[in-house]
């Protein structure tokens, strides 16, 4: 079933999760053990991240050698495995960066064949590797173009007009939103303008970047509504589990950690940080649920234990 259908039919706040594929050469059973814990909470859908190729350097007897590889492949296979093993709908992430339009079309054809109905269209992060584009091929530069490509396929329009047996696909398309503004946008108004373009192009729901101050989310939703963006906006949350995240999360995701949370974590013992993170997320969830948000999307990657404690504390499922 499509994400938008779950959101429209539910009379309460849903809970969804985002996981990350194992490292290259890793064992998918490790991921299955995480999902074995997640299914206890009846998630309507699970997101699976995608990763473009990156450059790595290794020292060899003859000097430094550059290697190019995808660190975490297998998004499509993992989505199919989850759907088949657990009968849970999955949302694979599709990226502009690191993939040609032709590769994206092939991925969408495969997802459609597997019965996967949802995708999240993202531009993707900058990487150390700029993929050379073969002659005659092209890439989507921005997520708007990616949304347009997916929607075109939903209309039966493929890159090759003479593609045989090309039936229309039927994907539900989600996009990302940034309550604290995308770091590259010159201002909030411009950022929301680009977001509205993606909705006008056919995206059906928004999942926000993680935030630790609910006021950012509520103001973001109101600004979207004022601009005529009326699709569901799902808040994304993450539980802080160690002190280093006070530095890494703002650096990597361009978000703010509230002063009160920062001070409490920095002044605490290392072993108490998880409990502080759970309590902070608990208060966020309580307010969001009371405000009747459509769903709460947890960025858990592969660390499920703090989430289990949080949901037990919430006692909402």
Write down the domain spans for the chain: 3-314
The percent helix, strand, coil of the chain (3-state, each to 5) is 40, 20, 40
Tell me whether residue 298 is exposed, middle or buried, using C-beta atoms within 10 angstroms of its C-beta: 0 to 12, 13 to 18, 19 or more: buried
Structural domain 3-314, CATH architecture: Alpha-Beta Barrel (3.20)
| 255, 236 Cβ separation under 8 angstroms | no
Residue 51: predicted pLDDT: 61
Sign of CA pseudo-dihedral 253, 258, 261, 266: positive
Tell me whether residue 250 is exposed, middle or buried, using C-beta atoms within 10 angstroms of its C-beta: 0 to 12, 13 to 18, 19 or more.
Answer: middle
Report which of 1, 16, 17 is spatially closest to residue 115, judged by C-alpha positions: 1
The C-alpha atoms of residue 266 and residue 228 are separated, in whole angstroms, by 41
DSSP H helices, 177-299, are: 188-201, 214-226, 245-253, 259-266, 273-290
Token couple for 185: 């946008």
φ/ψ bin of 202: left (φ > 0), alpha (ψ from -120 to 50), beta (otherwise): left
Alpha-carbon distance of 156 to 159, in angstroms, equals 10
3-state secondary structure of 260: helix
Per DSSP, the chain holds a count of helices (H) and strands (E) of 11, 10
Strand partners, 207: 176, 234
pLDDT value, residue 68: 44
* Cβ-defined contacts of 54-57 (< 8 Å, 24+): 54/127, 54/128, 54/129, 55/127, 55/128, 55/129
Question: CA 176, 43, 25: angle at the middle one, nearest 5?
Answer: 75
Catalytic residues: 18
Contact predicate 134/159, CB 8 Å: no
C-beta separation of 166 from 158 below 8 A:
yes
Using a cut of 0.85, tell me whether the model's pTM lies above it: yes
Q: In whole angstroms, what is the distance from residue 219 CA to residue 273 CA?
A: 28
Instruction: Give the three-state DSSP class for 60.
Output: strand
What is the rounded distance in angstroms from the CA atom of residue 67 to the CA atom of residue 46?
Answer: 32
pLDDT computed for residue 97 by the predictor: 84
Ranges of residues in the chain whose predicted pLDDT is under 70: 25, 51-72, 125-136, 161-165, 316-317
Distance between CA 293 and CA 179 in Å, rounded?
15
Give the pLDDT confidence score for residue 55 in this predicted structure. 43
């Amino acid at each position: 079933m499509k994400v938008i259908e779950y959101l429209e039919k539910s009379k309460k706040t849903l809970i969804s999760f985002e996981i990350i594929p194992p490292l290259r050469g890793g064992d998918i059973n490790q991921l299955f053990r995480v999902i074995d814990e997640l299914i206890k909470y009846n998630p309507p859908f699970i997101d699976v991240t995608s990763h473009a190729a990156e450059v790595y350097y290794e020292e060899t007897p003859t000097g430094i050698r550059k290697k190019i590889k995808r660190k975490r492949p297998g998004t499509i296979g993992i989505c199919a495995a989850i759907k088949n093993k657990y009968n849970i709908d999955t949302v694979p992430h599709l990226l502009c960066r690191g993939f040609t339009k032709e590769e994206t079309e092939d991925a969408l054809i495969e997802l459609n064949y597997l019965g996967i109905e949802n995708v999240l269209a993202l531009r993707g992060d900058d990487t150390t590797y700029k993929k050379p584009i073969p002659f005659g091929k092209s890439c989507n530069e921005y997520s708007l173009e990616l949304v347009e490509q997916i929607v075109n396929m939903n209309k039966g329009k493929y890159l090759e007009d003479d593609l045989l047996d090309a039936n229309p696909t039927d994907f539900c398309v989600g996009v990302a939103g940034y309550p604290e503004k995308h770091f590259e946008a010159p201002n909030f108004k411009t950022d929301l303008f680009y977001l509205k373009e993606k909705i006008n192009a056919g995206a059906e729901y928004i999942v926000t970047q993680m935030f630790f101050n609910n006021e950012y989310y509520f103001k973001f939703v109101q600004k979207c509504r004022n601009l005529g963006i009326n699709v569901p906006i799902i808040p994304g949350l993450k539980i802080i589990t160690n002190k280093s995240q006070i530095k890494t999360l703002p650096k990597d995701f361009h978000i703010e950690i509230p002063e009160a949370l920062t001070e409490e974590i920095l002044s605490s013992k290392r072993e108490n940080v998880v409990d502080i993170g759970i309590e902070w997320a608990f208060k966020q969830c309580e307010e969001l649920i009371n405000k009747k948000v459509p769903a709460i999307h947890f960025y858990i990657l592969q660390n499920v234990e703090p989430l289990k404690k949080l949901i037990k504390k919430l006692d909402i499922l």
